[in-house]
Amino acid sequence: MTATDQKNLDRKIRDKAEEKKIDEEVEESFPASDPPAFSAGSIGAPKNRESDAPSSDDVDDARKKIPERP
């Protein structure tokens, strides 16, 4: 066996060991302790909103104020 063959074999063994370690960590961490975020609230602005919803012109004006990225 050449030195290159030995290095390749060592790399494969190390990669397998790392892959096994990752697989074990994944198994131990599933299911996650924190459930997915969920909000049963409503979508949109509140019904008793004090201001009008922004118009498309308001949005366009706001976009113009944002500096462009280099």
pLDDT, residue 20, reads: 92
- Choose among 38, 41, 22: nearest CA to 30: 22
**Measuring CA to CA, how many Å separate 15 from each of 18, 24, 45?**
5, 14, 52
- pLDDT (average), residues 34-61: 76
Using DSSP's 3-state secondary structure scheme, residue 13 falls into helix
- Domain ranges in the chain are 1-30
pTM greater than 0.95: no
Asked if residue 49 has pLDDT above 80, the reply is: no
- How many whole angstroms separate alpha carbon 17 and alpha carbon 26? 14
Q: Who's near 9: CB < 8 A, 6+ residues apart?
A: 1
Percent of the chain with pLDDT over 90: 19
- How many whole angstroms separate alpha carbon 59 and alpha carbon 61? 5
